[in-house]
Amino acid sequence: MNLEKDIKHAISTAFKEVFNHLAEPESIALQPTRKDFEGSHTFVTFPYLKVSKKGPEETGQLIGEFLKQNSNLIAEFNVVKGFLNFTLNDNIWLDRLRQMQTDINFGFAPSNGYRVMVEYSSPNTNKPLHLGHLRNNFIGYSVSEILKADGYEVRKVQIINDRGIHICKSMVAYQKFGHGETPESSNLKGDHLIGKYYVKFDQEYKKQVESLSANGADAKTAKKEAPVLVEAQETLKKWESGDPETVALWKKMNGWVYEGFNETYEKMGVDFDSFYYESDTYLLGKDLIEEGLKSGAFYKNNDGSVWVDLEDEGLDKKLLIRSNGTAVYMTQDLGTADMRHHDYPFEKSIYVVGNEQDYHFKVLFLILKKLGRSYFDGMHHLSYGMVDLPSGKMKSREGTVVDADELIDEMRGKAELKTKELGKIEGFNEKQAQDLYHMLGLGALKYFLLKVDPKKRMLFNPEESIEFQGNTGPFIQYTHARISTIIRRAEESGITLDLRENLQLQPQELELIRMLVQYPEKVHEAAETYTPSVIAQYVYDLAKEYNRFYTELIIFGETDLNITILRVFLSIQVASVLKKGLLLLGIKAPERM
RNA sequence: GGCCUCGUAGUUCAAUGGAUAGAAUAGGAGUUUCCUAAACUCUAGAUGCAGGUUCGAUUCCUGCCGAGGCUACCA
């Protein structure tokens, strides 16, 4: 069934027959043939020269000859500088295409029985989502979908950082300057309203630090003793002691933020299966510390603080409990990990978190290992790079953030403008038109953020807005819409899509089938490496190839009906795979545009 | 200082140790009586520097230069 496997077996046999050498099929490496050469699969002879005791050219020639004679897979071959290129029988490819059509689940692996928890988004509740969150959310959502397609059972979760000094700062500023303002009265989304007070807090804080400094305080004390900061710290204490008034305000303000977030998530097209709130989890983990002390994984200092020594692993000593007995972030994360595994016994757990926390997660996983948690093995930090602006890193305090809501709206607006310019909305009603603008704007944005390897930092220049031409989401969406027209026309013309004939394939047709066949492997690769960009690159290449096919070959009006059938048939499969691939990226494929 | 990333066309991104380092965009030249020109074709343009391993290095190793991050009894 598997083409590559079959070819590898054939090569293995050839080695046995020609060189009397046992080459395990699994150990044979095949690669796709480069475009400028004839063939589809390439075998590199260099590693086998010691076995063949011949030059690279001759080795390739001998293997090629043997296979051409003895294998029904191989129609032709050529050898270029030790690279043995195979051209397969056209019927092999046509068979693949026929199989694809009957398999509705093409591209979806059967259940593998593994459960995986994917955590992403995990915002603070003191400000709106920004561009960095968009990358995080799109990656998290996409990886979840890819894992599902690869046979996993997935639970998408987020941990909401709903407590702590950051929200207290917004609370203090709101009490001071808010005059009872609400999202309704201010006509602001809840998260933006709270963000406004977070900024206000910072402004006030800076003012106070300045005036303290002007009155002779040194910089350190001024920063520590500014009244608003002291107030925020007191608010945090009050919250921790359960002061009803403080808790009520906290609930009200967080409620506004959640409303705002939900609206944004919906616009973004991401969702979650369950939520964890830090206010519920921040006290967890202390029992794990006790456990670790007992087992000797951790040790206690004279001052009562608890540490773990990771110097054997090439890391530092890490604090787990302060000398005053309070927990740190790490403690909480340990407890939360245990709780999550209890809630949903997973084989894998993916944390989609920025790469500035690489060290934190390295330590977290090592500690879980030291505690003997069997699940530690399946834990993975999906570390992604920052989205940089030309001016450098985004900093909320300096106002150099790109707001998520604004950016989405901007993209939608740009899609609308462009669509109208091209006169593409004839026959659309208002709702359909609006849906299309959103689909395209969001498609452009998602593709822009997902086409880059998650691990790498990437640059976003707000001046040069995201394009709709070239290697973009809308290009792929356009291709899909284009094919949809072909399919509609085929239906209207009433041709029977029965691919019976054994036809000779044109290069473009062959290339398309070759690419289609690869799709499940790409999904698997993306799932194993947690890399949506694999899929993004793939759908782009497929769309590009289809456009070439579309331009160069006549689909309707070909004299041989069987060729028309083949081309429509092929178009349908391309559309289907494009749509599936786009959905793995969270991008919708329009029928018309 | 220590540790971790990353340096590829003007720009934004690709390249399981393999062939002539791919795209896109910006630049130049073309294609529309024909299924959607958000398309297609042609053209020009890049591996930070110096060594090493290898039949073969953008990829692995060492040093240097440059960018960023982590290195809190913060979360």
Q: What is the pLDDT of residues A520-562, one digit of tens each?
A: 999 999 999 999 999 999 999 999 999 999 999 999 988 888 9
Instruction: Tell me the sheet residues that pair with A83.
Output: A44, A80
Spanning CA of A47 to C1' of B55, the rounded length in angstroms is 9
pLDDT of A397: 65
Whether residue A418 has pLDDT greater than 60: yes
| A523/A503 Cα distance (integer angstroms) | 29
The model's pLDDT over A460-518, given as tens digits with 9 standing for 90+, comes to 998 888 999 999 999 999 999 999 999 999 998 888 888 877 888 998 999 999 999 99
- Residue found by looking up tokens 């391309």 in the block: A574
Q: What is the ipTM of this complex?
A: 0.95
pLDDT of A311: 83
Q: Which residue is nearest to nucleotide B69 (CA to C1')?
A: A356
> What is the band of A325 on the pLDDT scale with cuts at 50, 70, 90?
confident
The model's pLDDT over A343-358, given as tens digits with 9 standing for 90+, comes to 999 999 999 999 999 9
Whether residue A400 has pLDDT greater than 80: no
pLDDT of A302: 87
| A480/A539 Cα distance (integer angstroms) | 11
Spanning CA of A218 to C1' of B46, the rounded length in angstroms is 52
3-state helix, strand, coil in chain A (%, to 5): 60, 10, 30
> What is the band of A392 on the pLDDT scale with cuts at 50, 70, 90?
confident
pTM of this structure: 0.95
For chain A, percent of residues with pLDDT exceeding 90: 75
Whether residue A383 has pLDDT greater than 60: yes
Contact yes or no for A460/A388 (Cβ under 8 A): yes
User: Exposed, middle or buried by CB within 10 Å (0-12, 13-18, 19+), for A22?
Assistant: exposed
Spanning CA of A443 to C1' of B39, the rounded length in angstroms is 18
The model's pLDDT over A158-212, given as tens digits with 9 standing for 90+, comes to 999 999 999 999 999 999 999 999 999 999 999 999 999 999 999 999 899 889 8
Nucleotide nearest to A478 (CA to C1'): B38
Nucleotide nearest to A424 (CA to C1'): B36
The model's pLDDT over A213-228, given as tens digits with 9 standing for 90+, comes to 888 888 788 888 899 9
pLDDT of A250: 96
pLDDT of A1: 53
> What is the band of A326 on the pLDDT scale with cuts at 50, 70, 90?
confident
Q: Which residue is nearest to nucleotide B72 (CA to C1')?
A: A319
pLDDT of A139: 97
Spanning CA of A260 to C1' of B72, the rounded length in angstroms is 33
C-alpha distances out from residue A434 to A307, A348, A429, Å: 57, 39, 9
Spanning CA of A179 to C1' of B30, the rounded length in angstroms is 65
Whether residue A50 has pLDDT greater than 90: no
Query: If DSSP codes are grouped into helix, strand and coil, which group holds residue A496?
Result: coil
| A90/A503 Cα distance (integer angstroms) | 8
The model's pLDDT over A253-279, given as tens digits with 9 standing for 90+, comes to 999 999 999 999 999 999 999 999 999
Whether residue A586 has pLDDT greater than 70: yes
Nucleotide nearest to A357 (CA to C1'): B70
Mean pLDDT of all residues in A240-261: 96
Nucleotide nearest to A46 (CA to C1'): B55
pLDDT of A398: 66
Mean pLDDT of all residues in A321-335: 90
The model's pLDDT over A95-151, given as tens digits with 9 standing for 90+, comes to 999 999 899 999 999 999 999 999 999 999 999 999 999 999 999 999 999 999 999
pLDDT of A494: 83
- Which residue did the predictor score with more confidence, A241 or A499? A241
HSE-CB at A501 with a 13 A cutoff on CA atoms is 13
What is the DSSP code string of A164-182?
A: SHHHHHHHHHHHHH-TT--
Spanning CA of A461 to C1' of B12, the rounded length in angstroms is 10
Q: To 5 degrees, how large is the angle CA A92–CA A96–CA A97?
A: 120
Spanning CA of A529 to C1' of B28, the rounded length in angstroms is 41
pLDDT of A74: 92
Query: If DSSP codes are grouped into helix, strand and coil, which group holds residue A546?
Result: helix
Q: Which residue is nearest to nucleotide B25 (CA to C1')?
A: A470
User: Chain B: nucleotides under 7 Å from a protein CB?
Assistant: 3-6, 11-16, 18-20, 23-26, 35-41, 55-56, 68-75
Spanning CA of A453 to C1' of B47, the rounded length in angstroms is 18
Q: To 5 degrees, how large is the angle CA A455–CA A461–CA A465?
A: 115
